[in-house]
Amino acid sequence: MTSAEDDRLASQRALWQAEAAGFDAEPDHGLLDPDVRAAWRALLEPHLPPAPADVVDLGCGTGSLAVLLAEQGHRVRGTDLAPAMVAAARAKAESAGVADRVTVVEGDAGHPSYEPGSADVVLCRHVLWALPDPAAALAAWGRLLRPGGLLLLVEGRWHTGGGLDAATTTRLVVDHVTGAGTPQVEHLADRDDLWGGPVADERYLLHARLPPR
């Protein structure tokens, strides 16, 4: 790793470390509203394999989605760059009674340390756009999947000008996730139930499945 990469990771770690205390105040981050929580469960559940599946949640933040999936019987491994996020995710899993099905470690979502072919599902929400090399990250995420495995990305193009639009993310997945084929995109900007209110961004769920062996 170069010194420039070290500096970037340190800067990002400090940013998200500072954000951790108030992170769950956003309805789609904390999933504290039962209706928002139910909406996320309803969004993700139809795409998931039968439990127990091995799920990797990259850039898991405070672990809200990791816990949600563990409550459905899945085994979830989460990674986040900020120690405070990791601590919050572990505490959330413990409080929810699913600590035996949720393992969260500190790490770089763009360079996950998990074994290739060890996941049935790779989930990432609002992280790909912020990585310096989305193509390399997607290639790495694809290698984590078993045959027939599922890539689930929740992304967006923000009203501030940042982010990735659905067409760009689709091209990246096609070009860099071996065997993914053509991803399917579900647009979510009008789903107030997911966000706790109206949003002014392009938001979407992209899912791509590898072929079975």
pLDDT digits (tens, 9 = 90+) for 11-21: 999 999 999 99
Q: How many residues does the chain have?
A: 213
Strand pairing of 119-125 and 102-106?
unpaired
Could you tell me where the DSSP H helices lie in 102-165? 134-144
Q: What is the CATH number of domain 3-209?
A: 3.40.50.150
Do 156 and 202 form a contact (C-beta atoms < 8 A)? yes
Average pLDDT over residues 187-193: 98
Q: Which residues of 168-187 are buried (b: 16+ CB within 10 A; e: fewer)?
A: ebbebbeebbeebeebebee
Characterize the bridge pairing of strands 75-80 and 184-187.
unpaired
What pTM was computed for the model? Answer: 0.95
Rounded Cα distance between 5 and 164, Å, is: 22
Across all residues in the chain, what is the average pLDDT? 96
Which residue stretches of 78-202 are H helix? 83-96, 134-144, 166-176, 192-195
